[in-house]
Amino acid sequence: MLLLSPLQIDFLNSVIVDLQKKNQELKDKLETMAAASLNGNNPSELDNYDSHDKQPAKKKPPPRLFCDICDCFDLHDTEDCPTQMQMPDSPPHTTYHGTKGEERPYCDICEVFGHWTDSCNDDQTF
């Protein structure tokens, strides 16, 4: 038979008391989680069941805006860069303000309006 000193008995009793407290805390947490899941909370809300005495976890801030063209932070994103010239979806509207029935001079060589083909000064032939 093993004989224990009073000091060893006190130590073992304190360990038993600590384990009983820990066991009761875990039971309480389990009950809280079970009640929360029955109330329709999602799993991420169940993770912070014991955080009522702690600060809420801070969310990660969104990434900073950065422009690869201007090489600058926080002004705009590369896709929104004002120096980036984007082609319009449709061709620009005409600036001709003549009458609708009038024939406009067009050059087949230069492929531009403004003069006729027979009066073209372009010396290059293809």
Mean local confidence (pLDDT), 40-69: 67
**DSSP one-letter code for 104:** P
Domain range spanning residue 20?
Answer: 7-40
Domain count, the chain: 1
**DSSP one-letter code for 87:** -
Mean local confidence (pLDDT), 1-19: 89
109: in domain = no
Whole-structure pTM value: 0.32
Q: Count other Cβ atoms within 10 Å, centred on residue 67.
A: 19
The three-class DSSP label of residue 113 is: strand
Q: Is the pLDDT of residue 61 over 70?
A: yes
Query: CA-CA distance, 109 to 125, in Å (whole number)?
Result: 8
Q: Is the pLDDT of residue 51 over 60?
A: no
**Contact status, residue 118 vs residue 106, Cβ threshold 8 Å:** no
Phi-psi region of 74 (alpha: psi -120 to 50; beta: other; left: phi over 0): left
Q: Is the pLDDT of residue 75 over 80?
A: yes
62: in domain = no
20: in domain = yes
